[in-house]
Amino acid sequence: MVKIFLLSVALISSLLAQQPKEINSDDPLIQKVKSLIAPATFAKDRAYIDIIFSPRSDYYNSQGRVDSVKVIQTLKDNGILNLFFKTPREIKISFKTEGVPLFFVKIMSDSLRNLGYYRYVTKESSYNDSKFTWKISLISEYAADPLILSQELRKSNCEIIDVVRENESDWLYLIDMKDAKLDVSTLEDSEEFRLKRSLYSYWLDVSKVDKIEISSSHRNDWYPYIAYYDKSLKLLRVIKIDKKRSNITLNMRENTHYIKISDIYSLKNIKDDLVLKPTAKKVQAPL
């Protein structure tokens, strides 16, 4: 009997040791969870929340900050956070970052478009002490999914630092863009590249080439518009040719990093591919 009793005690102790410890209410992780869901939902699911967020160390990044995107994903996966609405409503999203405003808006606009958000309105923008804020609104049946947006922004070397749910339909994103780049094709020396018909201007990374020959078929009525930008998307120069062209040679200057290719009048003029042939590799300046 003594042996059976001791075994029972040992088994119960083992089971208790395996139970996740309740997360302290003052812990930044639990504070983040509370900020993302309704108080009634938090109270109802508190015990469950303690379980799904164990071990809690998994929800902190290498800098010791709470990984907001991972927290939101866990809440979604476990049915605690619903990003869908019963009917379409106005959603307001604010983005804050430190960097060049034009560069950031270009990256965010491309990312939103890739996620299917085409019709949004800029409500406000401000730039103070190197901090840029861009606020937009749109009508949607669901709030922007932070995980999907995070994956899209990573293509441009941007990272979501924090996500704040201001109310049921308004969200704030803090974004790190210190290593930002455009998610566009990079031209390589001597490698032919074709630009397919598009409703949008063509953006390319030309940091590795010094000269590009562009050929346009006889079916095109291309009136070239070429804009040159540096690494931070500062406009360097613009070429406009008000004459139909079948070929053109572009010379990159030392600090040209991106180019935008379009048409003076309409991209509908470009019916066939534009064929690009880089003919010279950019010589890197000695350190």
Cross-strand bridge partners of residue 131: 98, 128
Last residue of a domain, one of 135, 153, 176: 176
| Residue 142 lies inside a defined structural domain of this protein | yes
Q: Report residue 25's pLDDT band, with 50, 70 and 90 as the boundaries.
A: low
Q: Is there a single domain that holds both residue 66 and residue 92?
A: no
Last residue of a domain, one of 77, 103, 123: 77
pLDDT value, residue 14: 45
Nearest alpha carbon to residue 224 among 276, 264, 275, 278:
264
Rounded Cα distance between 278 and 209, Å, is: 6
| Residue 274 lies inside a defined structural domain of this protein | yes
Quick one: what percent of the chain has pLDDT higher than 90?
A: 73
C-alpha distances (whole Å) from 146 to each of 45, 122, 164 are 22, 20, 10
Q: What is the number of other CB atoms lying within 10 angstroms of the CB of residue 129?
A: 6
pLDDT value, residue 105: 95
pLDDT digits (tens, 9 = 90+) for 32-88: 999 999 999 999 999 999 999 999 999 999 889 999 999 999 999 999 998 888 899
| Residue 3 lies inside a defined structural domain of this protein | no
pLDDT value, residue 41: 93
Q: Is there a single domain that holds both residue 145 and residue 208?
A: no
Look at the pTM and tell me if it is higher than 0.85: no
Collapse the DSSP code of 115 into the 3-class scheme (helix H, G, I; strand E, B; otherwise coil) and give the result.
coil
Burial (CB count within 10 angstroms: exposed 0-12, middle 13-18, buried 19+), residue 233: buried
The CATH number of the domain where 195 resides is what? 2.60.120.260
**Residue of higher predicted confidence among 249 and 84:** 249
pLDDT value, residue 118: 83
Angle at 158 between CA 153 and CA 159, to 5 degrees: 90
Rounded Cα distance between 267 and 275, Å, is: 15
| Residue 61 lies inside a defined structural domain of this protein | yes
| Residue 15 lies inside a defined structural domain of this protein | no
One-letter amino acid of 135: K
**Residue of higher predicted confidence among 186 and 286:** 186
Quick one: what percent of the chain has pLDDT higher than 70?
A: 90
| Residue 11 lies inside a defined structural domain of this protein | no
Look at the chain and report how many structural domains it folds into: 3
Rounded Cα distance between 98 and 132, Å, is: 6
Range of the domain at 251: 185-281
Q: Is there a single domain that holds both residue 193 and residue 221?
A: yes
Contact 97, 104 (CB under 8 A): yes
| Residue 12 lies inside a defined structural domain of this protein | no
pLDDT digits (tens, 9 = 90+) for 159-218: 999 999 988 889 999 999 999 999 999 999 889 999 999 999 999 999 999 999 999 998
Kindly report the average pLDDT of the chain as a whole number.
Answer: 88
Q: Please give the average per-residue pLDDT across 93-108, as a whole number.
A: 94
Q: Is there a single domain that holds both residue 72 and residue 123?
A: no
pLDDT value, residue 284: 64
pLDDT value, residue 142: 83
Q: Report residue 16's pLDDT band, with 50, 70 and 90 as the boundaries.
A: very low
| Residue 208 lies inside a defined structural domain of this protein | yes
C-alpha distances (whole Å) from 286 to each of 232, 254, 274, 279, 283 are 21, 13, 34, 22, 9
Q: Report residue 96's pLDDT band, with 50, 70 and 90 as the boundaries.
A: very high
Collapse the DSSP code of 224 into the 3-class scheme (helix H, G, I; strand E, B; otherwise coil) and give the result.
strand
pLDDT digits (tens, 9 = 90+) for 122-146: 999 999 988 999 999 999 888 888 9
Collapse the DSSP code of 141 into the 3-class scheme (helix H, G, I; strand E, B; otherwise coil) and give the result.
strand
Number of helical H runs and strand E runs in the chain: 7, 14
* pLDDT at 232 exceeding the cut of 80: yes
Rounded Cα distance between 115 and 118, Å, is: 9
Rounded Cα distance between 230 and 243, Å, is: 27
Q: Which two tokens stand for residue 107?
A: 């990256």
> What does residue 127 show for φ and ψ, rounded to 5 degrees?
-140, 110
The CATH number of the domain where 154 resides is what? 3.30.70
